[in-house]
Chain A
Amino acid sequence: MEGRQLVGMKDKLFRILLFVAALVILLLAAGIIYALVSRSMEAFGEYGIRGFVANAEWDPRSATEEYGAFSFIVGTLYTAFFALLLCVPFSLAVALFNGEYFRGSKISSFVSSIVDLLAGIPSIVYGLWGFYTVRPIIIEMGVNAQGFGIFLSSVILAIMIIPYASSLSAEFLSMVPNKLKEGAYSLGATRLEVVQHISLPTAASGIVASFILALGRALGETMAVTMLIGNTNRIPQGLRDTGNTMASVIANQFGEADGLKLSALIAIGLLLFVITAIINLIAKMVMKKLARV
């Protein structure tokens, strides 16, 4: 009897512990949001939310001080979406290789572990690799004179997000019911036709969701982008141009900032938080749709 009581108490204790842990996380998240919102108020109060978001001026000189986030929002979306575009063919190929053609084979587990390894490389290493190895190639290609810019950062970002997009996509591809595929084969479909008409359409929403998650990762990447994008505070005029992203402007200027500039940087952080949250929400909704099917 006593033993059972003890077990019951332990169970209760464990439950309380879990509850507290969950609560702490929630409080932390709330605290972060509170800090971001309260400290960005100065900038939003000065320019208004729309005025801050839509203004491309970033002038830190005290005489003509003016801060707007637009050029960084453009830079962020530009690099992230171009990186996504570059990563789609590669991730999809890897996903089909691992999730369809060579599913469960030795070579597939080898390839997928190599791709997963890419996800474990610290972003500073990607930054250095981009700086010393990829940049000379970009200069050689004649993209621009010094190599830095949207193009270089997007190429590196694309490589960084391939593992996120491909491993999740492969997961969804391997979840396609065998019955469907066998049915198609029995009707005389070739392997390509099965992939085209059965596997890809069935796993489509899952694949889309995994790409959206990869996009979210590209949006927030800081270190590698800061090293490669050129850090110019204006709207990039094209792929060859330099620019700046929301994450990298914060990383660059936070140290010496105070007053209105500090508030503007925190406001950019809040905007990035909101954009990433929206992206993740979309991915969740797409996946939910898949779960219903």
Chain B
Amino acid sequence: MQRLSPLLLLLVLLISCNNNSARIEKSGSGTVLSGAGATFPYPYYNIVFRDYMRLNSGLTVNYGAIGSGGGIRSLRDRSVDFGASDAFLNNKEIASMNAEVIHVATCMGSVVMAYTLEGVDSLRLTGPLVADIYLGNIRKWNDPKLRIINPDVLLPDLDITPVYRSDGSGTTYNFSEYLSMVSPEWSNVMGKGKALKWEAGIAAKGNPGVAGIVQQTEGAIGYIGSEYALTLKLPVARLRNRAGKYVDATLETISAAANVELPDDMRATITDSDDPNAYPISLFTWILVYKDQQYSNRTKKEAEALIDMLRYVISDGGQTVAAQINYAPLSAQAIEKTRKLIGEIHYGGEAIGRDER
């Protein structure tokens, strides 16, 4: 044992350095599935994988929240069993994977506009107005443009403090993607990306940082992931959707954004959805797996375990858990299409993904 301890120490060190991307070797007793990727669905995956492990003793699912980009890289290096991303792979990325990848939608979320204004408990906004606020074109809360769409609200003569993310973030990406769709000026000046060059406002790190500043600053507005804002019950603005309706961000309106014709491969953008009840800045998050599970020494047992785990995530049980922690559940159509995609997974040509249930 004494001779072993330096070795053990080394092992622990190696694992702690690499647990995000490296597949942990089988311990013999059971199957280990490891994944890495997006931070946005991390709280959901944490709980749903834990539940799944309780149901299947001897099986371990590890997930490292290293960001969507890292998740895609890890899957490409084949160092994980599954990757996770808030953005679907574009054609260039798909080509770089050297094998067919399946997008398994797991849950939905949105980006909400949280604000703090004393005496204002209901606020309406439109995408172009949000763009104007972050571009510095609208600087006061009692700007005529804001008053017109909020006729019943007494807006104060107060500076608007827009708050944005100081770190690179998928939330920023989705927010800016939406504004690029609805505001030509935004599209020209700011564009879309995980980090931008901002014109107005102040910045803070992470959802908690933005939420903290918004909550503590009179006249502040900030964009925050719905899963975080809904849990904290922050006051959020109702946004006008494509159909012209002002909608609150609730699990129902977020799920409703997926009530459009979804592509069979589930690589769907549901931002600014056509559905009349949809919240406009809604999004899917995906788990990415290879269609052919026979690669780099993976056993059939592992592949089958992975498929079973994916089925659990999109099952009623998994989706109920999502809703409990304020992730919007997948729409019926999304579940249907995703189930079909999981069914296409095979192991060296042998169909193993077919749903027997």
Contacts and interface: CB of A to CB of B under 8 A. Distances in A.
Specify whether A and B are partners. yes
Interface of A: 58-64, 131-132, 135, 145-148, 226-227, 230-233, 242, 251-253, 255-258
Nearest to A132: B216
B202 A60 contact: no
A253 B168 contact: yes
Contact of B193 (A61, A145, A257): A61
Interface in B174-232: 191, 193-198, 201-205, 212-213, 216-217, 219-220
A181 B207 CA distance: 60
B184 to A, nearest CB: 16
A252 B197 CA distance: 14
A61 B173 CA distance: 11
Nearest to B204: A231
B159 interface: yes
Given A145-B219, A146-B217, A231-B166, A253 B195 contact: yes
A255 B161 CA distance: 25
B214 to A, nearest CB: 10
Contacts of A255: 67, 167-168
Contacts of A253: 166-168, 195
A231 B202 contact: yes
A217 B203 CA distance: 24
A22 B284 CA distance: 54
B69 interface: yes
Contact of B169 (A64, A256, A258): A256
B196 A61 contact: yes
A230 B168 CA distance: 16
A135 B202 CA distance: 14
Contacts of A251: 205
Contacts of A132: 216
* B-side interface size class: 20 to 34
Main secondary structure of the interface of B (DSSP, over half): loop
A146 B167 contact: no
A60 B67 contact: no
A282 to B, nearest CB: 32
B74 to A, nearest CB: 13
A232 B198 contact: yes
Contacts of A146: 159, 161, 202, 213, 217, 219-220
A256 B71 CA distance: 12
A149 to B, nearest CB: 8
**3 A-B pairs closest in CB distance:** A256-B168, A231-B203, A60-B195
A233 B220 CA distance: 19
Contacts of B197: 58-61, 64, 233
B265 to A, nearest CB: 25
19 contacts: A60-B168, A61-B193, A61-B197, A131-B216, A135-B216, A145-B161, A146-B202, A146-B213, A146-B220, A148-B202, A231-B202, A252-B167, A253-B166, A253-B167, A255-B67, A255-B167, A255-B168, A256-B67, A256-B195
Contacts of B169: 256
Interface centre among B194, B201, B205 (most CB of A within 10 A): B205
Contacts of B159: 145-146
Contacts of A233: 197-198
A256 B161 contact: no
Nearest to B192: A61
B203 A230 contact: yes
Given A145-B158, A231-B204, A232-B202, 12 more contacts: A58-B197, A60-B168, A60-B194, A62-B193, A135-B216, A145-B159, A148-B202, A226-B205, A252-B166, A253-B168, A255-B167, A256-B167
Contacts of B201: 232
Given A255-B167, A258-B69, A61 B195 contact: yes
Contacts of B67: 255-256
Interface centre among B158, B203, B216, B220 (most CB of A within 10 A): B203
B195 A63 contact: no
Contacts of B167: 252-253, 255-256
B212 A131 contact: yes
